[in-house]
Structure 1
Amino acid sequence: MDIPEALRSLNIIYCNIAIMTPLHSFRVCRVLCIEYSYVPISLKHLGKLLHLKYLELYGTPVDELPKEIGHLRSLQTLLLVNTGLDELPPAVCSLTRLMCLMAEGFKRLPADKMGNLTSLEELRLESIVGQSATQALVAELGKLTRLRVVNITFSEELEESLQEALVQSLFNLWGLQELALSSKWSQQGSAMWGDWEPPRQLRRLIIKGIIFSRQPRWINRSCMAHLCFLSLAVHAVEAQDLDNLARLPELRYLKLDGVSWPPRYDTGPDDFRNLRFCDVGTMLVFHMGAMPRLEELVFGVGVLLEQCPTMDVIEDLDLGLDNLLSLEQVTVVVDCSGATAAKVQEVEAVVMRAMENHANRPTIKMERVCENFILSDKEQEDLVRLFLSSLYVCVLLSFSDALKRKAACSSSRINLMLSSSHSCGCFDIL
């Protein structure tokens, strides 16, 4: 028996092949997977593998992706990652039976033809370059009504008009279970996101590069009962928002970035029942029975900033970390802005003491942010002196303004008296 002719599945992984049997020899091959093969692979006869259902080229340089790839009418899964090619050929969009497409590392995509892939259920695209390509893809997305998984990274800024078109397309994706959108540029969220009604079966929601002014109203138990993974950025987070998150019955992963937070949030036995990972920007106080399955906790500590819990607050307040019975890892993010190195170390020591008695002996990681803004003792003294000088000047200016207002008020009263007297004829004798 001729092995190439009978072969149904061919997997080449971490293999440097100098000479390879021509692909057209594998006539009945259903699966072709080539990963991390550093010798360039020729796909010249790829279009002759008419029975191929699964094609994966991962971390493998290829000389070209021939337009004959469009002949693979049986192909259901196409994974192309870091192949060294700049362009994904438009012929890919003629694969009407394709159910899964992953394309990463390409600079150009046939975005305006993506709507032809009507059988697509999973779409993963990275680095959508160019404003026109972004606009085309956002519009075509609404035609792919069978999509269950959407994971797209945009290189362009998602301005308001693009976000509105994107939300309009999402209205058509009623079978969506996972939505991950990422932009390399941060942009204010469009108000139209508030009108979106996520499918009830949505399980993963990840949005990066879009900052919502408020947490969307549809993040609640009735609309997202099956949500288990959430990563979002909200400018102003309120206690009610955290209440809504705490009641999501299947939530396992929560990462919530924000600028404005309530000073603290108390969690009780009925909150976050299934949460395994928690990263929020406010101080959490854990009461008995809170977060019974939490394994990893991330929270911030400010040396000087009021936005984060400070050293004095941590020393005086029992955060209830002992009540987290499943805790395995704690990451503390220390904001060093405007503090001295000694003060930063002191804060880190206080945090360590606050957690060292936990029964599970969790792994504790300290991460510093804004470390470039740590001041020397002299720099901090100069900063304090400058602040006091500025404060003194402000007081003098305020006092001066008060005197001027008082003088102006007195002058106004005198003028009013003179005017009144004149109108009564009191000065006619003059």
Structure 2
Amino acid sequence: MAECAVTTVSEKLIDLLVHKTQLFRRVHREAKALIDELEIIQCFLKDAEARLEKGGMIDGVKTWVKQVIEIAYNIEDVIDEYLLHMAQSYQGQSGYLGVLSKTGNLLKALKPRLDIASEIQNVMASLGEIRKRSERYGFKSLEQRSNSQIPNAEQHDPRLDSFFIEETELVGFDTIRNELVRKLVEGKSTRMVVSLVGSGGIGKTTLAKKVYDNEAVREHFECHAWITVSQSYDMEKILRTMTKKICAVAECPLREMDSMQELINHLRQYLQTKRYVFVFDDVWQIDFWKVMKHALPSNDKGSRIIITTRNDIIAASFKENSCDFVQKLLPLSQELGWELFCKKAFRYEFEGRCPQELEHLSLEIVKRCQGLPLVVAAIGGLLSTKEKVMFEWLRMLESLTYELENNPQLTSILRILSLSYHDLPHHLKSCFLYFGLFPEDYSITDVKLFKLWIAEGFVKEKKGKTMEQVAEEYLIELVHRNLVEASWETVNKSNRLCRVHDLMHEIIKLKAGELGFCQILNDKDSRCRGKIRRLSIYNCNKNVLDAIEDHGVRSIFFFSIENLPKSFVAGLFKKFKLLKVLDFSYAPLDHLPKEVGNLFHLKYLNLRNTQVKKLPKSVGKLQNLQTLDLRGTLVHKLPFQINKLQNLRHLLAVYFDEKVEFSSNSVRGIRIQWGIGSLDGLQTLTTLEAPHHGVDLMKELGNLKQLRRLGISNLTTENGRELCSSIEKMNHLEHLDVFAASKDETLDLQSISSPPPFLQHLVLTGLLKKLPEWFPKLENIQQLCLSFSRLHEDPLKCLKGLPNLVNLWLYQAYDGEQLHFEEGGFGKLKVLSLGKMYTLKVLKIDQGALPLLEELGIGPSPLLKEVPSDIQNLKNLKLLKIYQMPRKFVLDMQPGTEGRDYWKVKHIHSVHFWYRVEGDVYDIYKLGDPHLLEHLQS
């Protein structure tokens, strides 16, 4: 964690030197010296944190680590304050010369640079003291640690999984393995050295282990040992380990004071009369064999040595006679790679065979793995945990290049284990500690978590991926390490709810407090201790601002706050000018002061479900803002200045009126003037209110080619064609919600020739009359909601072939009398809701239709007289929801002598009856509930 803080500061200093050309030469010199000093401190810090992680830290050293963190925080404050002052100096001026054109502004512009030079000098003095104390505690630099006996803090050997490959998963090695075993046990009596050489991930360790563990090999040799060499090997330590392993049985004397020469002699004398086999795995240097060969006598007993290496020159250096040979391992053929991939990716289902719809993408993935068995196995193993849908495969295919180019062995995947906090890389430590900001048992959606991590600077860029995709990788790794629990919010898997176990939450709070990472303030504990970077104010009615002495707080969250006086809010903006994250969601806030515009560094502003009615024009100054969340607020219109926010990635502003029954009018978007098309970095825009005669605005949306999620409300027929044209340009779009201006307004979406390829969620609310012709092309669609469509033709004929559809809502979508779910249709559908089908009389479900359906909703459909008997065909159905159906329909379902239809539903785990109270508020009763009968009587 301390390493992360120092790295962040170093990156900021480098950015300052590269991009801020207005710095004095003196400041450049001081900043460069500071970077050099931080690099030295960071080397010592690695050693200190390694000791901490091994549990060997004394209080003084722990204090030293915290002092380093505070110094890093101080440097960050100096930089951020400088940038803030410079930004304030330039506001309203035409560049740097504009500032200097006025004598009064000259001193204003120079002062921040004079201040930063002075502050850097002060920090340098503090770092000097820190460095002296590091020497007092005996910390070693990175170079010194490479040959020291201090236990390192590395994660497990990335080749460990190669030792435990199941026999059934060994692909492409049968012939070469059998040949090697034969040569080892049947070859000449001359000592033989076999060098296995190939690129990383080619399977050298796996092959060597399978040969070494072969029963015939074990029985043939009198002594044997497996030695992992690695890049930073210690020859004396290896020799001593070998001596202990093979001489223990013979009780050869071994003294701790034995020199390397004496160890070699011990081994050579003992092995002189033995038939031995040794494996030296992962050899990186030629010098290794120059020493080791003296310990291994060529005794004419048929002894064997196997080495693995990535270097052809090293492999050749082991060949000293005609018996020795180099075995070059080649990549797997496409056919063998395919066999291995299927064994790993589909080991839990489909009997190890690839579904037809995934074959093309799977072959592309195997091809991109370049025939490296460990990569194929790792990617296949990772995909075995994913849903078997084209979208997941496409995402993997898109990101595979980065993994293969930068990490040939895919150690980031192989290392996904259940480890403790100290085993986490420093960037994940920050992500993990972030859960300390939330109350115990609190669940946060993954998408919100990603936005926060990105705003905090925890997420690093990766080629070919969005920051959100990288953040998702971080979360997945934390889940796989059993540190974070993540469960899907709904069956359609649109959002994950993330939390940590209560005990882990306590550990996080303790660690976060020690490091000054974050703190929760409440009525029981409203005292802020030391330099704290992040605060949560939880269920606290005190004015805690006075208790916070540190003005360098970067993030503030509010939870369960009953009262938020305007004076408190004004004081907050005045005191904490370096804020990056400000989360007022669900707080009693009704006004956002104009001083918010002074928060130059603000990247995340959440006003969700507050009573704020208007945004001040000063929000246009928030040049670093990435996320603006206005969902559930009373803000109807955004100021024109919003178009200045060139770093804005997520604009969320939808409002659902739960007091009225769902309709196109119950969803309200936000009005934006022209210019939205200039925010070409937007990934989320939901929901935008389309103005009447708003063709130009719909056309502007075509510039937003990075959009992943788009919501449009108040759409008129007139604007539909231009919207379609813009949507066709959004190749990354995953979610699309469109709401018509009224229930009688036709959604004209027919002109889309090809929908966005990654579209997973589609909501269309408004008159359609017929399904658009591009619907059959929705190959990746998982969730589809059609409301008030009033279709004349049975939509099931078109929809049944969508290969990945999981959720289907049809809400007053069809005006016909019969719906027929045919055999073989909707193979992956899990949730089906048939609402407000006022003309529906017959519901038919063939045997073999809807094989995976878990949840079914019906009603109100007053013409449907009884529960369809075909419901028995739904063997996986767990929940049946009945909405406001006629009294007789419901009574016939009840258990007892009068329930003539009870036999149709008794196999279903849960049957619920929903009756609307007002708006979208319902009373819910269970099957056989006496209160339900009372309700029906009344």
The answer, yes or no, to whether TM exceeds 0.5 is: yes
Q: Pick from 148, 155, 163: which aligns with 2:708?
A: 148
Letter in 2 for 1:299: I
Q: Pick from 787, 798, 818: which aligns with 1:263?
A: 818
Alignment of 1:146-225 (within 5 A): 146-154=706-714, 158-187=715-744, 189=746, 193-209=750-766, 211-220=767-776, 223-225=777-779
Matched, 1:231 2:785: yes
- 1:147 CA drift (Å): 1.0
Which residue in the other structure is 2:855 paired with?
296
Matched, 1:12 2:563: no
Tell me how far apart the structure 1 counterparts of residues 859 and 618 of structure 2 sit (CA, whole Å). Answer: 54
Taking structure 1 as reference, are residues 360 and 54 closer, same or farther at Cα in structure 2, changes over 3 Å only? same
Taking structure 1 as reference, are residues 117 and 17 closer, same or farther at Cα in structure 2, changes over 3 Å only? same
Structure 1 residue runs of 5 or longer lacking an equivalent are 335-343, 369-430
Which residue in the other structure is 2:906 paired with?
358
Q: Is the 8 A contact 1:164 1:190 kept in 2?
A: no
Which residue in the other structure is 1:327 paired with?
878
Tell me how far apart the structure 1 counterparts of residues 741 and 716 of structure 2 sit (CA, whole Å). Answer: 12
SS at match of 1:45: helix
Q: Pick from 662, 680, 685: which aligns with 1:123?
A: 685
Q: Is the 8 A contact 1:237 1:262 kept in 2?
A: no
Q: Is the 8 A contact 2:681 2:704 kept in 1?
A: yes
Taking structure 1 as reference, are residues 135 and 251 closer, same or farther at Cα in structure 2, changes over 3 Å only? same
Taking structure 1 as reference, are residues 185 and 264 closer, same or farther at Cα in structure 2, changes over 3 Å only? closer
Matched, 1:72 2:625: no
Q: Is the 8 A contact 1:287 1:320 kept in 2?
A: no
Q: Comparing both structures, which one devotes a greater share of its residues to helix?
A: 2
SS at match of 1:111: coil
Q: Point out 4+ residue stretches in structure 1 off by more than 6 angstroms.
A: 105-108
Alignment of 1:333-412 (within 5 A): 334=885, 344-352=886-894, 353-356=900-903, 357-365=905-913
Matched, 1:139 2:672: no
Aligned Cα root-mean-square deviation (Å)? 3.1
Taking structure 1 as reference, are residues 194 and 261 closer, same or farther at Cα in structure 2, changes over 3 Å only? farther
Q: Pick from 648, 653, 659: which aligns with 1:103?
A: 653
Tell me how far apart the structure 2 counterparts of residues 242 and 119 of structure 1 sit (CA, whole Å). Answer: 38
Tell me how far apart the structure 2 counterparts of residues 130 and 216 of structure 1 sit (CA, whole Å). Answer: 23
Could you report, residue by residue, the CA deviation over 1:56-97 in whole angstroms, capped at 9, with x for unpaired residues? 112334586332222221111011245555542111111011
Tell me how far apart the structure 1 counterparts of residues 784 and 597 of structure 2 sit (CA, whole Å). Answer: 41
Which residue in the other structure is 2:176 paired with?
none
Matched, 1:113 2:672: no
- 1:362 CA drift (Å): 2.5
Matched, 1:253 2:795: no
Letter in 1 for 2:697: L
Q: Is the 8 A contact 1:47 1:68 kept in 2?
A: yes
Q: Is the 8 A contact 2:721 2:751 kept in 1?
A: no
SS at match of 1:212: coil
SS at match of 1:319: helix
Structure with higher Rg: it is 2
Q: Is the 8 A contact 2:654 2:670 kept in 1?
A: no
Letter in 2 for 1:345: R
Tell me how far apart the structure 1 counterparts of residues 737 and 770 of structure 2 sit (CA, whole Å). Answer: 19
Tell me how far apart the structure 2 counterparts of residues 301 and 95 of structure 1 sit (CA, whole Å). Answer: 46
How many residues of Structure 1 are paired with residues of Structure 2 in the alignment? 342
Letter in 1 for 2:710: V
Tell me the percent identity: 24
- 1:203 CA drift (Å): 0.4
Structure 2 residue runs of 5 or longer lacking an equivalent are 1-530, 532-547, 656-667, 895-899, 917-938
Which residue in the other structure is 1:55 paired with?
605
Tell me how far apart the structure 2 counterparts of residues 63 and 267 of structure 1 sit (CA, whole Å). Answer: 51
Could you report, residue by residue, the CA deviation over 1:262-309 in whole angstroms, capped at 9, with x for unpaired residues? 6341432x3222222212445433344432332221235766xxxx44
Could you report, residue by residue, the CA deviation over 1:326-384 in whole angstroms, capped at 9, with x for unpaired residues? 331232553xxxxxxxxx5334333554245422342132659xxxxxxxxxxxxxxxx
Which residue in the other structure is 1:43 paired with?
593
Tell me how far apart the structure 2 counterparts of residues 332 and 321 of structure 1 sit (CA, whole Å). Answer: 19
Report the TM-score when normalising by structure 2. Answer: 0.34
Q: Is the 8 A contact 2:580 2:602 kept in 1?
A: yes
SS at match of 2:820: strand
Tell me how far apart the structure 2 counterparts of residues 64 and 347 of structure 1 sit (CA, whole Å). Answer: 49
Letter in 2 for 1:291: L
Which residue in the other structure is 1:414 paired with?
none
SS at match of 1:285: strand
